[in-house]
């Protein structure tokens, strides 16, 4: 799940850069909507991982890693396996100011969503 969050973060960064350089109009609207979708998806995954850390499964199994799932199973079957979580996803590697990496990731994605919404509102209110 942490790898999926990284991909969502890269998506937010690339789409934000694209939105910054394209001219005003439909292209910027699409790029901005893409930023919101990527940030929302990242927030969802981070929230799920945070929940797994707060309430770890009773049976911890490491299972397959992310790349092993993608290579071994069709995407239709691999995606639910990714969100199921495992012993690796419930492990807390470090805590900063009382929050785990997944918690900080969730806070960051929500901040991007809020900023995107504020910028969108400011642009359409004119």
Q: What are 41-82's pLDDT values in tens digits?
A: 999 988 888 888 777 767 655 555 565 666 777 777 776 766
DSSP summary character for residue 55: S
Look at residue 120 and tell me whether its pLDDT is greater than 90.
no
d(CA 84, CA 65): 12
Higher pLDDT, residue 20 or 38: 38
Q: Report, as an integer, the average pLDDT of 113-121.
A: 86
Query: Which span out of 4-8, 43-47, 66-70, 96-100 was modeled with the highest average pLDDT?
Result: 43-47
Topology of domain 2-58+92-124 in CATH is Bromodomain-like (1.20.1550)
d(CA 31, CA 40): 14
């Amino acid at each position: 799940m942490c790898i999926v969050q990284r991909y969502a973060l890269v998506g937010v960064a690339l789409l934000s850069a694209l939105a910054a350089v394209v001219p005003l109009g439909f292209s910027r609207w699409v790029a901005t909507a893409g930023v919101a979708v990527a940030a929302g998806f990242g927030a969802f995954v981070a929230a799920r991982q945070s929940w797994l850390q707060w309430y770890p499964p009773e049976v911890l199994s490491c299972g397959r890693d992310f790349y092993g799932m993608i290579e071994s199973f069709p995407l239709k079957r691999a995606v639910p396996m990714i969100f199921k979580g495992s012993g690796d996803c419930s492990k807390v590697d470090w805590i900063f100011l009382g929050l785990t990496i997944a918690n900080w990731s969730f806070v960051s994605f929500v901040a991007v969503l809020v900023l995107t919404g504020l910028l969108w509102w400011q642009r359409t209110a004119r």
